[in-house]
C-alpha cells in the first residue's frame, strides 16, 4: 500500500473516566449500596450531584461507576428490561436473575464494552442480603462486600480488614470473628469509607448517597430516625428500601 492511500491517523476516544467511587456491603438480612455524587473529568468537577446508585425495584439497587454516559445508558436499559419482565410475569425480577441479566447485557458488548463497573446489591428470594460485582464485560460473582471506582484501592483493603477480618486475630479464648455485621456497624463503615476516600482522593466527594434494603426477615422494618433516612420502597408488604444522604467535603 503506498503512503497516499493509507488511512489517516485520527483519534477519537469514545470513553472518558468520570471518577467517583461506589461500595456495597451485604448483611445477613440487609444490603447497603452507596456511592458519592461527584462527577469529574480530569481535574474538572463537572457537577457535585450526579447520582450513581439507582433503585431498580424494592429488592435490588444498582451502583454504576466508570464512564458516566455508558453508566447512565446501561442503567436505563436494565430498567427497561425489568419493566418488560414485570409486564410478562407480573412480578419484580429476583436479584440473582437481575445479576445474570446484567452479565448478559455486558457481555453482549464484549467488543465495544460499556466502560462501567457495576455493583448490584439487594435481597435474594431466600431473604438474605447479597452483593454482586461485575467487571465491564460481565464477569461476576456474589460477594459480601465490594468497592469499585476511583478510590477502590483505598476502600477495598479497609473492607477486607473490617468485614472479612483479614490480618486480624480473634482474641484468644474470645468469640470468633462474626460472619455478618449488624446494620448499624455497616452504615458506620460505609460512611467512614467515603469520608476517608474523600480525604485522600480528588475525584471523590461532595455528597454520599446510601441505599439500604431491608429483608422482610430483618427484625426492624424501619431505620433509626436519627439516620434521617427517606423510605423509597413502593409496597408496604415487600422489602423496604431507604436512602440516606450525607454531605462530604467539597474541596
Partner 1 sequence: MDHFPTNWGRPRNDLNDAYNTYPLHQRPYNGPKDTFADGVQRTQQPIVTGTSVLAIKYKDGVMMAADTLASYGSLARFKDIQRLHPVGSHTVLGAGGDMSDFQYIQTSLDTLLIEEEITQNDGHSLGPSEIHEYLKFLMYGRRSKFDPLWNSIIVGGVKDGRSFLGYVDLLGVTYEAKTLATGYGAYIAQPLLRDAVEEREGQENSITEEEARKILETSMRVLFYRDARSLNKYQVATITAAGISISESQHLSTEWSFAEGIRGYGAQTQ
Partner 2 sequence: MVRGQSFDENTYDSDNTVFSPQGRLHQVEYALEAVKQGSAAVGLRSKTHAILLTLKRSTGELSSYQQKMFRIDDHIGIAIAGLTSDARVLSNFMRRQALAERMVFNRPIPVNRSVSAIADKAQVNTQEYGRRPYGVGFLVIGQDSTGPHLYEFSPSGSSLEYVAMSIGARSQSAKTYLEKHFEKFESSAYDDPISVSILKQFAPVGSLEQLIEHGLHALRETLQQDKELTIHNTSIGIVGPAGSHEVGVDGLGSFRILEEETVDPYIQALPPKEAPAGTNAPAAAAPPAPAGDEDVQMAE
> Which residue lies nearer to partner 1 by CB, 76 or 177?
76
215 grid coordinates? 429483608
Residue 145 forms beta bridges with which residues?
Answer: 25
When CB distances are held under 5 to 8 angstroms depending on the partner's kind, the choice from partner 2, partner 1, none that residue 234 binds is partner 2
Give the whole-angstrom CA distance, residue 86 versus residue 70.
24
Q: Is 6 in the site for partner 2 (CB under 8 A)?
A: no
When CB distances are held under 5 to 8 angstroms depending on the partner's kind, the choice from partner 1, partner 2, none that residue 48 binds is partner 1
> Which residue lies nearer to partner 1 by CB, 42 or 178?
42
Site size with partner 2, rule: CB under 8 A: 9
Of 173, 246, 211, nearest to 63 by C-alpha is 211
Q: Is 87 in the site for partner 2 (CB under 8 A)?
A: yes
- In the complex, least distance from residue 9 CB atom to partner 1, rounded to whole angstroms: 6
> Which residue lies nearer to partner 1 by CB, 206 or 239?
206
User: Using an 8 Å Cβ cutoff, are 31 and 61 in contact?
Assistant: yes
Phi, psi of 37 (to 5 degrees): -115, 10
183 grid coordinates? 446494620
Q: Scanning the structure block, which residue is given the C-alpha cell 463503615?
A: 189
Supply the Cα-derived Rg of the chain in whole angstroms. Answer: 19
When CB distances are held under 5 to 8 angstroms depending on the partner's kind, the choice from partner 1, partner 2, none that residue 41 binds is partner 1
> Which residue lies nearer to partner 2 by CB, 202 or 232?
232
Of 220, 238, 228, 192, nearest to 59 by C-alpha is 238
The count of residues in the chain is 251
186 Cβ partners below 8 Å, 6+ apart? 25, 27, 30, 32
When CB distances are held under 5 to 8 angstroms depending on the partner's kind, the choice from partner 1, partner 2, none that residue 235 binds is partner 2
Of 98, 70, 73, 72, nearest to 84 by C-alpha is 98
- In the complex, least distance from residue 47 CB atom to partner 2, rounded to whole angstroms: 17
* Strand (E) or helix (H) holding 140: strand 140-143
> Which residue lies nearer to partner 2 by CB, 58 or 206?
58
Residues 219-248 that bind partner 2 (CB under 8 A): 234-237
> Which residue lies nearer to partner 1 by CB, 6 or 88?
6
Residues 130-149 that bind partner 2 (CB under 8 A): none
Rule CB under 8 A: which residues touch partner 1? 6-18, 39, 41-44, 46-50, 67-69, 72-73, 112
**Residues engaged in binding partner 2 (CB under 8 A):** 76, 80, 83-84, 87, 234-237
Amino acid at each position: 500500500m503506498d503512503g497516499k492511500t493509507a488511512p489517516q491517523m485520527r483519534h477519537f476516544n469514545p470513553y472518558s473516566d468520570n471518577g467517583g467511587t461506589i461500595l456495597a456491603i451485604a448483611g445477613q438480612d440487609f444490603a447497603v449500596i452507596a456511592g458519592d455524587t461527584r462527577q469529574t473529568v480530569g481535574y474538572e468537577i463537572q457537577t457535585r450531584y450526579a447520582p450513581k446508585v439507582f433503585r431498580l425495584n424494592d429488592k435490588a439497587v444498582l451502583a454504576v461507576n466508570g464512564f458516566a454516559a455508558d453508566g447512565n445508558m446501561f442503567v436505563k436499559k436494565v430498567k427497561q428490561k425489568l419493566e418488560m419482565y414485570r409486564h410478562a410475569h407480573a412480578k419484580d425480577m429476583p436479584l440473582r436473575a437481575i445479576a445474570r441479566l446484567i452479565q448478559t447485557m455486558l457481555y453482549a458488548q464484549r467488543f465495544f464494552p460499556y466502560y462501567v463497573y457495576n455493583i448490584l446489591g439487594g435481597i435474594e428470594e431466600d431473604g438474605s442480603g447479597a452483593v454482586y460485582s461485575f467487571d465491564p464485560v460481565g464477569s461476576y460473582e456474589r460477594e459480601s462486600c465490594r468497592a469499585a471506582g476511583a478510590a477502590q484501592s483505598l476502600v477495598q483493603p479497609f473492607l477486607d480488614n473490617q468485614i472479612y477480618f483479614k490480618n486480624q486475630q480473634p482474641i484468644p479464648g474470645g468469640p470468633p470473628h462474626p460472619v455478618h455485621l449488624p446494620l448499624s456497624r455497616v452504615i458506620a463503615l460505609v460512611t467512614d469509607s467515603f469520608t476517608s476516600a474523600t480525604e485522600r482522593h480528588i475525584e471523590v466527594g461532595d455528597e454520599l448517597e446510601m441505599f439500604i434494603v431491608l429483608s422482610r426477615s430483618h427484625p426492624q422494618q424501619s431505620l433509626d430516625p436519627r439516620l434521617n433516612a427517606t423510605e423509597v420502597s413502593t409496597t408496604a408488604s415487600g422489602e423496604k428500601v431507604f436512602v440516606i444522604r450525607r454531605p462530604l467535603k467539597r474541596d
